[in-house]
Amino acid sequence: MTLGELKEELEYLIEHEGVSENVDVRFASQPNWPFEYSINSMTHVEDDDGNLAIYMEEGSQLGYLAEHAKEAIGW
């Protein structure tokens, strides 16, 4: 996913789905043993070839991913 694609997804949720900008953002991991995590921060890093990547820093493990969230993701 590119930064532009992420922006489009977030804008769609806000503008068309009525999702508040104040809603928590979480990260789902490990489809076979799914957990959810908070996100501490984001940063961008440039590699030796000048390519940029955005990194989201894993925060706290919040628990197992809820069944309805797994289904929505397609796990």
The total number of structural domains in the chain stands at 1
Place of tokens 């804008």: 11
11 within domain boundaries: no
Q: Which domain holds residue 66?
A: 22-73
Alpha-carbon gap, residue 9 to 4, rounded angstroms = 9
**Which residues 6+ apart lie within 8 Å of 62 measured at CB?**
26, 35, 36, 37, 38
2 within domain boundaries: no
Would you say the pTM of this structure is higher than 0.85?
no
**Which residues 6+ apart lie within 8 Å of 16 measured at CB?**
none
66 within domain boundaries: yes
49 within domain boundaries: yes
Instruction: Give the pLDDT confidence of 3-57 residue by residue, as tens digits.
Output: 999 999 999 999 999 999 999 999 999 999 999 999 999 999 999 999 999 999 9
9 within domain boundaries: no
